């Protein structure tokens, strides 16, 4: 049985390190041998999650340079555990002295301490959002596998809501995959030219005054192989839900049309001419080959007012969480692709 610091069944990622400790990192076990090692994928995904990249995210300025310690030789994976280390170089632990005696409301500071009796309060320790760098590292390795075995597969994330600003149903319906590939170019990864400046002003004001906002992130997956997922306890939708809900600050998970489904009458909802998008690309817990649509809701960042102004915090976690959710989606897909290889003898 895997520990609570590991995710996956066939493709297992183990996360280690504390926010203000010497380093963070991941050990990836289950990667088949002979997969081409693509340093650019690893670098790009880490940089997309990295703090200090814009005025509307945390100003903690980590280089986040990965050190590959094992599992790769002459440009290919060995089939052995892949260990990747990322050193912490810009921690300011004094900013967090107050947390020791005054836990942040809505954060895990106090519950971690009461659970273990001894915890690291600096930057939140392992309850910090910085822990997610291990997930992005694992997801980047997963993307290398997917690039070889499912070159048509695309995992695309964007923000559909930042605080009070949201993309309407019409706006969402007009977004193309090409549009979404440009989402990283927008402030907060919120692909709306009309609202971009308003969103930027909202987050800059929040950062200046120690305020925070929540939002919604969407992950669309194109080119998914059919028949991924197990029909009872390891449904594909259940593993996506577990992957997303395991990310800090996530409070809701939806598949397809999500909560909107409850308003529909069945004969209208299950129309034969429907393109399947309402189901989100999964039926019976198994992928149909259609686009998978996933949505995660994030609460406002817990570090607010004086704590936020003294430290270096995101006024909205959604923009930097999107690469994390993409990584978790990649981990789930690789796990199920490897699992599917044993589903049928013929």
- What is the DSSP annotation of 223-270? SPPTT-S-SSTT-HHHHHHHHHHTSTTEEEEEETTGGGGGGS-HHHHT
Helix axes 132-149, 39-49, angle to 10 degrees: 140
Domains in the chain, number: 1
Q: How far apart are CA 161 and CA 154, in angstroms?
A: 22
| Confidence at residue 18, expressed as pLDDT on a 0 to 100 scale | 92
* Cα–Cα nearest to 174, from 153, 160, 155: 160
**Structure letter (DSSP) for residue 272:** T
Q: Distance between CA atoms of 129 and 313, rounded to whole angstroms?
A: 10
Q: How far is CA 303 from CA 57, 296, 312, in A?
A: 13, 20, 9
User: In 3D, which of 267, 268, 266, 269 has the Cα closest to residue 279?
Assistant: 269
* R_g of the chain, CA atoms, integer Å: 20
Residue 69's pLDDT is 98
List the Cα angle 191/192/197 in 5-degree steps.
Answer: 115
Task: Render 76-102 in DSSP notation, one character per residue.
Answer: EE-SS-EEEEEE-----GGGGHHHHHS
pLDDT at residue number 307: 64
Is 186 contained in some domain? yes
- Let me know: does 197 contact 255? Beta carbons within 8 Å: no
Is 346 contained in some domain?
Answer: no
Distance CA 217, CA 313 (A): 19
Cα–Cα distance between 97 and 134 in angstroms, integer?
25
Spatial distance between the Cα atoms of 235 and 88, rounded to a whole number of angstroms: 37
Task: Give pLDDT tens digits for 161-211.
Answer: 999 999 999 999 888 877 788 899 999 999 999 999 999 999 999 998 889
Answer yes or no: is 136 within a domain: yes
Check if the beta carbon of residue 51 is closer than 8 Å to that of residue 58: yes
Q: Which pLDDT score is estimated for 121?
A: 78
Q: Which residues of the chain have pLDDT under 70?
A: 1-2, 52, 59, 93-96, 272-276, 306-312
- Ordered strands of the 82-87 beta sheet: 6-7, 12-17, 23-29, 82-87, 66-68
Q: What pLDDT shows up at residue 308?
A: 64
Structural domain boundaries, residue 242: 6-340
Q: Which residues contact 298 (CB under 8 A, 6 or more apart)?
A: 214, 215, 216, 217, 249, 250, 251, 316, 317, 318, 321
How much is the pTM? 0.92
Q: What is the CA angle 302-308-310, rounded to 5? A: 150
Q: Looking at the domain assignment, is residue 1 inside a domain? A: no
Q: Does residue 325 belong to any structural domain of this protein? A: yes
Residue 52's CATH number? 3.60.150.10
Whole-number pLDDT of residue 272: 55
Q: What per-residue confidence (pLDDT) applies to 296?
A: 98
Kindly state whether residue 345 falls inside one of the protein's structural domains.
Answer: no
Q: Which residues contact 57 (CB under 8 A, 6 or more apart)?
A: 51, 314, 319, 320
CB of 210 closer than 8 Å to CB of 309: yes
Residue 17: CA atoms inside 13 Å, Cβ hemisphere, count?
A: 23
Tokens standing for residue 145: 């596998």
Residue 66 dihedral angles phi and psi, to the nearest 5°: -80, 140
Q: Do residues 4 and 20 touch, judged by C-beta distance below 8 A?
A: no
Q: CA neighbours within 13 Å on the CB side: how many for 83?
A: 6
How do 82-87 and 23-29 pair as beta strands?
antiparallel
Asked whether residue 273 is domain-assigned, the answer is yes
- Among residues 141, 280, 133, which one has the least CA distance to residue 221? 280
């Amino acid at each position: 049985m895997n520990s609570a610091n590991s995710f996956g069944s066939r493709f297992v990622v183990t996360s280690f390190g504390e926010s203000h400790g010497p380093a963070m990192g991941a050990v990836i076990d289950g990667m088949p041998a002979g997969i081409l090692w693509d340093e650019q994928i690893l670098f790009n995904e880490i940089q997309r999650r990295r703090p200090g990249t814009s005025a509307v995210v945390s100003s903690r300025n980590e280089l986040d340079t990965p050190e590959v310690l094992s599992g790769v030789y002459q440009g290919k994976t060995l089939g052995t555990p892949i260990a990747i280390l990322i050193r912490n170089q810009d921690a300011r632990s004094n900013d967090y002295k107050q947390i020791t005696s005054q836990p942040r409301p809505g954060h895990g500071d106090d519950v971690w301490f009461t659970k273990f009796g001894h915890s690291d309060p600096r930057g939140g320790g392992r309850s910090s959002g910085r822990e997610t760098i291990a997930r992005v590292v694992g997801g980047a390795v997963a993307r290398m596998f997917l690039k070889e075995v499912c070159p048509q597969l695309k995992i695309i994330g964007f923000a559909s809501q930042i605080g009070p600003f949201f993309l309407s149903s019409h706006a969402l319906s007009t977004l193309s995959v090409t549009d979404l590939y440009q989402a990283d170019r927008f402030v907060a990864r919120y692909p709306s030219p009309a609202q971009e400046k308003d969103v930027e002003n909202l987050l800059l004001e929040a950062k200046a005054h120690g305020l925070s906002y929540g939002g919604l992130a969407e992950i669309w997956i194109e080119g998914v192989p059919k028949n991924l997922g197990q029909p009872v306890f390891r449904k594909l939708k259940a593993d996506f839900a577990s992957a997303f809900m395991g990310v800090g600050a996530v409070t809701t998970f939806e598949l397809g049309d999500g909560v909107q489904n409850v308003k529909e009458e069945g004969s209208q909802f299950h129309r034969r001419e429907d393109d399947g998008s309402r189901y989100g690309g999964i039926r019976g817990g198994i992928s149909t080959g259609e686009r998978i649509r996933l949505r995660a809701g994030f609460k406002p960042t817990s570090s607010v007012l004086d704590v936020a102004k003294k430290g270096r915090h995101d006024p909205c976690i959604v923009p930097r969480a999107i690469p994390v959710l993409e990584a978790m989606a990649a981990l789930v897909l690789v796990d199920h692709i490897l699992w599917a290889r044993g589903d049928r003898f013929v």
